[in-house]
Amino acid sequence: MQVIHTIPELREALAVHRQRGFVPTMGNLHDGHLALVKQARELVGPTGAVVASIFVNRLQFAPHEDFDTYPRTLERDCGLLEAAGCDVVFAPGEKELYPEPQSYKVLPPTELADILEGHFRPGFFTGVCTVVHKLFNIVQPTLAVFGKKDYQQLMVLRRMTAQMALPIAIHGGETRRSDEPGNEGLALSSRNGYLSAAEKAEALRLSATLKALIARWQAGERELAALEADAMQALRDAGWAPDYLTLRRQHDLGPAVDGQPLVALGAARLGRTRLIDNLEVVG
């Protein structure tokens, strides 16, 4: 496995590979990321190249967010990526990707990017789209894999890729969850590392509350606003500060309606840690 820090070296290393599977990350890797790398390997086959990028993208962080403290663990990450079957790690420094302030940006449409995560993290999806578009130009992958844990991000990036006519197949990877005793079912996330042991056990309440919201809908309750308000209150009662808990259509994240595939999504702060999760409604 090669670890590459500059754009020219990456282009040279990839020149011989026609099929390229790409997994963009911000590092501090866990089994969720590694599952995406394995999925990329399956998709490109043994002769294709699997490329993972590690870059904590300043553009998608608001000034009060955790850009400075986000864990940077390159050496450990590279060991994990090699074991997972990655061929090339692209780990650019900030000056490599942004040699001058990135004033050309990719602006995603407001109806998708200013709701939910985008509402609570203004500018987040502009930062994500801009860096992913740039990374796509650098890596020139034939396919890319993103996790469903960041459900809205996957949707925004799918639409960007289609609308910009980028010749890249976008794949979604299922959310990997913890099987650690006491935390079984907790969505793996780099930010789980900010949680104390007690908070980690409490963190399961986010998915449990989404499950309860889905169960009430499936039992026939249709007062969506009341269902969502109850879910928010249940988290508040347990000491959380929820941003949203909501039931949406899978295809455009509009409000839930009967007869269409749905997904429950939530974001909430537990102590100083902001967690997100989602569950697709089956049946």
Per rule CB under 6 A, is residue 273 in the interface with ligand PAF?
Answer: no
According to CB under 6 A, which one of 53, 126, 175, 183 is a site residue for ligand ATP? Answer: 175
- Answer yes or no: are the C-beta atoms of 123 and 102 closer than 8 Å: no
190 is in an annotated binding site: yes
Footprint (CB under 6 A) of ligand PAF, residues 52-91: 57, 60
Q: Are 194 and 203 in contact, with CB atoms under 8 Å apart?
A: no
Catalytic residue among 33, 64, 119, 133: 33
In angstroms, rounded to a whole number, what is the distance separating the alpha carbons of residues 44 and 20?
Answer: 7
Total of residues contacting ligand BAL (CB under 6 A): 3
Q: What tokens were used for 3?
A: 């670890």
Is residue 51 within 8 A of residue 61, CB to CB? The reply is no
134 assigned to a ligand binding site:
no
Q: Which of 128, 145, 263, 281 is close enough to bind ligand PAF by CB under 6 A? A: 128
Least distance CB 277 / ligand ATP (angstroms): 9
108 contacts 126 by C-beta, under 8 angstroms: yes
Other CB atoms within a 10 A radius of the CB of residue 197 amount to 9
- The residue (of 55 and 240) whose beta carbon lies closer to ligand BAL is 55
User: Does 79 count as an annotated binding residue?
Assistant: no
131 binds, among ligand ATP, ligand PAF, ligand BAL, none (CB under 5 to 8 A by kind): ligand PAF
**Nearest-approach distance from CB 63 to ligand BAL, in angstroms:** 14
The residue from 28, 39, 53, 60 that contacts ligand BAL (CB under 6 A) is 60
Is residue 240 within 8 Å of 210, Cβ to Cβ?
no
* 153 marked as part of a ligand binding site: yes
Quick check: is 251 catalytic?
no
Instruction: Confirm or reject binding of residue 150 to ligand BAL (CB under 6 A).
Output: yes
- Checking 75-83 for CB contacts under 8 A at 24+ apart, the result is 76/29, 77/27, 77/28, 77/29, 78/1, 78/3, 80/29, 80/33, 80/34, 81/1, 81/29, 81/34, 81/37, 81/52, 82/1, 83/34
Buried b (16+ CB within 10 A) or exposed e, 200-230: bebbbbbbebbebbbebbeeeeeebeebbeb
Q: At 82, which helix (H) or strand (E)?
A: helix 74-84
Least distance between ligand PAF and beta carbon 102 (Å):
12
| Single residue of 92, 141, 173, 266 touching ligand ATP by CB under 6 A | 173
Question: Scanning residues 15 to 44, which ones bind ligand ATP (CB under 6 A)?
Answer: 25-26, 32-33, 35-36
Output the smallest distance, CB 215 to ligand ATP, in A. 23
What are the φ and ψ backbone dihedral angles of 181, each rounded to 5 degrees? -55, 135
Tell me whether residue 264 or residue 276 sits nearer to ligand PAF (CB atom): 276
Q: Which are the contacts of 236, defined by CB distance < 8 A and separation ≥ 6?
A: 242
- 253 appears as a binding residue in the annotation: no
CB 231 to ligand PAF: min, Å: 25
Binding site for ligand ATP (CB under 6 A): 25-26, 32-33, 35-36, 146-147, 149-150, 173, 175-176, 187-191
Catalytic positions: 33
Binding site for ligand BAL (CB under 6 A): 60, 150, 153
